[in-house]
Amino acid sequence: MPDSTVAADRNVPYAIRAYAPERLIDALRKMYLIRRFEEGAEDSYTRGLIHGTMHLSIGQEASAVGACMALTDDDKITSTHRGHGHCVAKGADLGKMFAEFFGKETGYCRGRGGSMHIADVEKGNLGANGIVGGGIPIAVGAALSAKRLGTGAVTVCFFGDGANNEGAFHEALNMASIWKLPVIFVCENNRYGMSTSTERSTAVKSIADRAAAYSMPGERVDGNDFSAVTEAVDAAVARARNGEGPSLIENVTYRWRGHSKSDRNRYRTKEEIAQWQERDPIARMAAMLKEHGITDDEGIAALEKDVEQAVEEAIAFAKDSPVPRIEDATRDVHTPKVAA
């Protein structure tokens, strides 16, 4: 939740105006955590420590962290296959995340889900999802629960540009709108659904324009600008909490890495990637905080060092953790019966 709504100098970015310095530094720290976590995961993958594949969100950290700034642990998010950032942004423990990557019993899913299904229910993260668009109706259901049970919670529903062409997206947005549910649809448009660009896959120029079809506000923002993301999402969260219904926000961003580990980058140029790397959301966030005197180079260096250590510790925890017992392979299919 924003710490202050006092409208100060309009030239000062929204995030600086809305959030206390320690929240902003924590946000920067989370962005570093996401990046280092994913770099660590990539490194572990290279070393053969990780089974399967992974979808890295390096380059998209501002969208994940910015969209969660206004949320409490009671608020829910639904995430995507590219969900590490959302998970960290919602306050997840890195050790449990790495442990899940390593297929360990101490992981968030006790080694049953892996990278694509990491969830952290206690922090309100209902989980990443292996199905493009799979989480969107679920987010609407969570919002329905919140409304029906009167919890006042909102749900932020993350999805990518690819999902906006799924039927589930349209069905879910329509229902959220007719029932005025407290849900914020956050499309992270990283320009490609696997290899197919939004220009080739999507009839509208801006995915945010699709909000009009469901009679809800739609806004397109620079997804690599932390403050722009928070400004748009915070307004939508406020609307939702106010009972005014859902919103659609399109964070335009870019993934630096390939779609997954099998991506040979044949559909885009090195120049294009380099161009987007110049718009690194973390560097921009750090610059903004320095510009407004919230931190300095020394502070950032300490933060980075701290994050690197946290990642190292998390990896060590995961490596040292026990693997699940083979005989427990089917343990969690059904909820165990509790004696009445």
Partner 1 sequence: MNAQAGIDVREISYAQAIREAMDIALAEDDRVILMGEDIGVYGGAFQVTGDLVDKYGTDRVMDTPISELGGAGVAVGAALTGLRPIFEFQFSDFATLAMEQIVNQAAKVRYMLGGAVSVPVVMRFPAGSGTGAAAQHSQSLEAWLGHVPGLKVVQPATPEDAKGLLLAALDDPDPVMIFEHKLLYKMKGQVPSGRYTTPIGKAAVRREGSHLTIVATAIMVHKALEAAKALEDEGIEAEVIDLRTIRPLDRDTVLASVRKTGKLLCVYEAVKTLGIGAEVSAMVAESDAFDFLDAPIVRLGGAESPIPYNPELEKAVVPQVPDIIEAARGLAEGRV
Q: Of these, 20, 46, 73, 148, which contacts partner 1 (CB under 8 A)?
A: 148
Site track for partner 1 across 170-199, x = CB under 8 A: xxx-xx--xx--------------------
Q: Of these, 53, 145, 196, 201, which contacts partner 1 (CB under 8 A)?
A: 145
Q: Of these, 66, 85, 113, 182, which contacts partner 1 (CB under 8 A)?
A: 113
Q: Of these, 6, 203, 326, 333, which contacts partner 1 (CB under 8 A)?
A: 333
Q: Of these, 108, 158, 159, 276, which contacts partner 1 (CB under 8 A)?
A: 108
Which residues does 67 contact at the CB level (< 8 Å), separation at least 6?
Answer: 86, 89, 156, 158, 184, 186, 229, 230, 233, 249, 251
Q: Of these, 144, 194, 213, 273, which contacts partner 1 (CB under 8 A)?
A: 144
Q: How far is CA 242 from CA 20, 69, 83, 150, 257, in A?
A: 23, 18, 28, 12, 38
109 near partner 1, rule: CB under 8 A: yes
Exposed e or buried b for every residue in 27-43, given b needs 16+ CB within 10 A? bbbbbbbbbbbbebbbe
Closest CA to 41 of 91, 130, 103, 123: 103
Q: Which helix (H) or strand (E) holds 72?
A: none
270 near partner 1, rule: CB under 8 A: no
Q: Which of residues 72-91 bind partner 1 (CB under 8 A)?
A: 76, 78
134 near partner 1, rule: CB under 8 A: yes
Cα distance between residue 309 and residue 332, in whole Å: 33
Q: How far is the CB of 90 from partner 1 (least distance, A)?
A: 14
Q: What is the 3-state secondary structure (H, E, C) of 135-194?
A: HHHHHHHHHHHHHHHCCCCCEEEEEECHHHHCHHHHHHHHHHHHCCCCEEEEEEECCEEC
330 near partner 1, rule: CB under 8 A: yes
Instruction: Specify the residue, 2 or 111, whose C-beta has the smaller distance to partner 1.
Output: 111
Cα distance between residue 241 and residue 224, in whole Å: 26
Q: How far is the CB of 146 from partner 1 (least distance, A)?
A: 7
156 near partner 1, rule: CB under 8 A: no
Cα distance between residue 84 and residue 164, in whole Å: 20
272 near partner 1, rule: CB under 8 A: no
Count of residues engaged in binding partner 1, rule: CB under 8 A? 46
Q: Which helix (H) or strand (E) holds 267?
A: none
Q: How far is the CB of 121 from partner 1 (least distance, A)?
A: 5
Interacting span for partner 1 (CB under 8 A) from 56-64, 266-274, 296-304, 327-335: 327-335
Closest CA to 161 of 136, 189, 203: 189
Q: Of these, 2, 66, 127, 218, which contacts partner 1 (CB under 8 A)?
A: 127
Instruction: Specify the residue, 117 or 261, whose C-beta has the smaller distance to partner 1.
Output: 117
Instruction: Specify the residue, 33 or 173, whose C-beta has the smaller distance to partner 1.
Output: 173
Is the CB of residue 97 less than 8 Å from the CB of residue 132? no
Count of CB atoms situated within 10 Å of the CB of 199: 9
Q: Which residues bind partner 1 (CB under 8 A)?
A: 76, 78, 107-113, 117, 119, 121, 126-127, 129-131, 134, 136-146, 148-149, 167-168, 170-172, 174-175, 178-179, 330-335
